[in-house]
Amino acid sequence: MKAIRRFTVRAVIPERLAPLAELAANLRWSWHEPTQRLFAEIEPLVWRDTDHDPISGLGMVTPERLDELAADEGFVARAQALRDDLRAYIAEPRWYQGIEEQKPTSIAYFSPEFGIASALPQYSGGLGILAGDHLKSASDLGVPLVGVGLLYRSGYFAQSLTSDGWQQETYPVQDPDGLPLTVLREPDGTAVTVTLALSEDRTLNARVWIAQVGRVPLLLLDTDIPENADGLRFVTDRLYGGSGEHRLLQELLLGIGGVRAIKRWAELNDQPAPQVFHTNEGHAGFLGLERISDLIGIGLSFDEAVQVVRAGTVFTTHTPVPAGIDRFDRSLIESYFTGDLLPGVATSDVLALGDEQANGGSGDVFNMAMMGLRLAQRANGVSVLHGAVSREMFKGLWPGFDVSDVPITSVTNGVHAPTWTDAMVAALAEGTLGTTDTSAADWSSPSLTDDALWSLRRDMREQLVQDVRRRVSSRLRSETPTAVVPGWIDDLLDPDVLTIGFARRVPTYKRLTLMLRDPERLRRLLLDEERPVQIVIAGKSHPADDEGKRLIQQLVQFSQDPQLRTRIVFLPDYGIAMAKNLYPGCDVWLNNPLRPLEACGTSGMKAALNGALNLSILDGWWDEFFDGENGWAIPTADNATSDDERDDLEAAALYEMIEHQLAPRFYERNEAGLPERWMRMVRHTITTLSPALSADRMVREYVERMYLPAGAMETTLTASNNQGARDLAVYKARVRQAWPGVVVAHVESGGVDEVPQVGDVLRLRAYVQLGELSPEDVAVEVVSGVSEPGGELTQVRTEALEWQQSSRTGSPDDSLEYTGSIVLDRAGGFGYTVRVVPRHPHLIGPAELGLIAVAEG
């Protein structure tokens, strides 16, 4: 029999244990190890079996045990001290408060998913984990962030496997009352409701839940409420689920409803409205339209409102391929915006923002990334390589400009060290190096011996082995409750064997089964008597991706061979709880995507924080951080004639490296039984990568390079009743209208001999026609660099030419004269050209308007 309704009954906590409730309500416990130790002390097995969820755990503790703890003066004192520490953490000034320059008082961070803790399953993979780490580091640094997302009643999905290895999905329904959430309420106690006026007289309503992530509030919108018609109650049912229209409704709610939720939250809590809005991928792009509608409501035109919104918006793209971008039928967008959804905003203006034709796309499609880039003055990819890929992918929005001019920079992702660094690593750092901040510890210190570090690595490997055995045993018992757990489980993995980890989402480009390209060779590596290897694998395929499911099935079936099953294992239902033992317990983290399809990838970062070495294709973050001593780079077969040949070549390189480099280095021991060369690499990895891969570094970069400039520009444009925005809109309209009249009429050069030499000075004179524009409206520049065989310039540099005011009159073609010079400071091929671009103090780069006039050859 099934229940007609399910809900969570929370435990009654004795008054003396009231600090436990306050500690459990703030998700800081998910990365604060002393608080975790306190909760684990209550009932260790419950803490383990609930995947470290204090709210669920407290509900499973008997009243007798709670009374026993309430009578324990030492436990009560520790709980009170940790409660006081949490309050101080929330209130005290931190890094951000020490910034002396003008800074935003509030920053909104929008993401479709947030991976913070197993207790709040609102994530599918790397994008959500990154968003969770962003919030955690923002909290640690004191950045005044407010997160915004959706509350999915069934989250992503729970993964199980059939006997033949086929992925099956289930969607456990989450009860918000059993999660670390509170309802945002009006002064009269009623729940705040956000409302969107949809097409066909439908209204979408959402309740606002709050998860407190340290100092950062995370607002989550939930449509499963009585105010909605049945069909709309399920808008927030599943993460990335449903049809195209279902997905559109989720994104309308996230963007438009999210802005409305923040406004009401700020009013109720007497907090400032955000000055900066950070869109984590295009899913939340509609937030810009809601803000435009608000500004139109106070008297600005659409174009003026766009300037304000652009100034204060940061857009982060995470996809390296067009197929990864959300795109909707143009007619579907039109149907939703022809109505009262956004007062004052014309449907034609909305459609123009998402038009992808300038970038070579379809006229029948609305592209969320195009809208995101058009509504954000600052945009970035998530690694140096991904920034370059993104500039190439979106260059059509800035026609005529070199790819290097495309205004998309990069901020390489990072991971939250206190979350992903094992407690044993932190304990060793505290006991030996005098700090629990593992990202700042001096891991090169001679006080830390190789023996201690090697023992740590062995202990974490042992921890992983025990966790894997427990998970496999539990799965077998759940599948056949009356069966006896087979004896081979006790031999599953070996804490003294070289352990390779591979865990991530399973789209085809990540090549889960590249290791199976030559099954017999892999078998020999796993079963080598002197230098064996073992592999732990996990990952989920999207429910609609049958090809990804087939890859999982192939690997599972391979691992079921009785000779191999103790050396290779696939763990279903990959998530945060599993990952926290998997990353530290592996000696090597494997990553073999098709380059350059990995935007960043952060699993290898988390492994590196614990002293694991990376074995990876030079893609994503590894492309910029690999130095030859922190792991290995798998050569890419870029010249292969087919996908099959490429896979064969790269798999062969993978086998070669494991057999002839990794295994020998791991198993070669000195007289004390230590692998000296391996330990040098471990120490080097944890020393050099811990600070660089930290999410604290990432968030500081966002603050210094994105949030502070965006906040300053927003302040400038909104001052004096938005006068800066009004002036900028007038300038842009005037320049766009007049630009066809801008021409580089003629360029003259001199000052160098017939055979130029390094050190010569090339003098230039350019004659430019500006039509209806004035010299103050533009910049005339010489662009020079290495001239490639096809005439393209690389390694370019740009220098301004100066207008010679005396030339303004008297020129027969009304040209203006500009002059300047270039020092020839390097040998080899050289070339130059002259260009004209718009110039205005509120533009942050020459390509911002996408307008350019270049000298004809």
Q: For the chain, how are helix, strand and coil distributed in percent, rounded to 5? A: 45, 20, 35
Task: Calculate the CA 161 to chain-centre distance.
Answer: 29
- Its pTM stands at 0.96
pLDDT at residue number 646: 96
What is the enclosing helix (H) or strand (E) of 316?
A: strand 313-316
In Å, what is the CA distance from 707 to each residue of 103, 215, 700, 848? 8, 18, 10, 18
What pLDDT digit, counting tens, does each position of 141-188 carry? 999 999 999 999 998 899 999 999 999 999 999 889 889 999 999 999
pLDDT at residue number 4: 54
> What tokens does 782 get?
């010489």
Helices (DSSP H) in 43-124: which residue ranges?
Answer: 44-49, 54-60, 63-70, 73-91
Task: Calculate the CA 671 to chain-centre distance.
Answer: 45
Residue 597 has pLDDT above 80, yes or no: yes
pLDDT at residue number 435: 93
pLDDT at residue number 829: 83
Which neighbouring-strand residues pair with 366? 328, 355
pLDDT at residue number 1: 57
pLDDT at residue number 484: 81
Instruction: Label residue 588 by pLDDT band (50, 70, 90).
Output: very high
Instruction: Label residue 386 by pLDDT band (50, 70, 90).
Output: very high
Q: Are 514 and 616 in contact (CB under 8 A)?
A: no
State the average pLDDT for the chain. 94
Which neighbouring-strand residues pair with 322? none
What pLDDT digit, counting tens, does each position of 401-444 carry? 999 999 999 999 999 999 999 999 999 999 999 998 999 899 99
- CB-hemisphere CA count at 13 Å for 332? 16
Three-state secondary structure call for residue 740: helix
Three-state secondary structure call for residue 738: helix
In percent, the amount of the chain with pLDDT more than 70 equals 98
Instruction: Label residue 3 by pLDDT band (50, 70, 90).
Output: low
Task: Calculate the CA 633 to chain-centre distance.
Answer: 23
Of the listed ranges 50-54, 134-138, 551-555, 805-809, the least confidently predicted one is 805-809
Find, among 334, 569, 593, 610, the residue nearest to 471 by Cα: 569
Find, among 833, 825, 834, 830, the residue nearest to 788 by Cα: 830
pLDDT at residue number 263: 98
Average pLDDT over residues 41-58: 91
Which neighbouring-strand residues pair with 158? 170
What pLDDT digit, counting tens, does each position of 276-329 carry? 999 999 999 999 999 999 999 999 999 999 999 999 999 999 998 888 899 999
Residue 810 has pLDDT above 50, yes or no: no
**What are the counts of helices (DSSP H) followed by strands (DSSP E) for the chain?**
29, 30
What pLDDT digit, counting tens, does each position of 99-128 carry? 999 999 999 999 999 999 999 999 998 999
The Cα 597–Cα 393 span in angstroms is 12
Average pLDDT over residues 825-847: 92
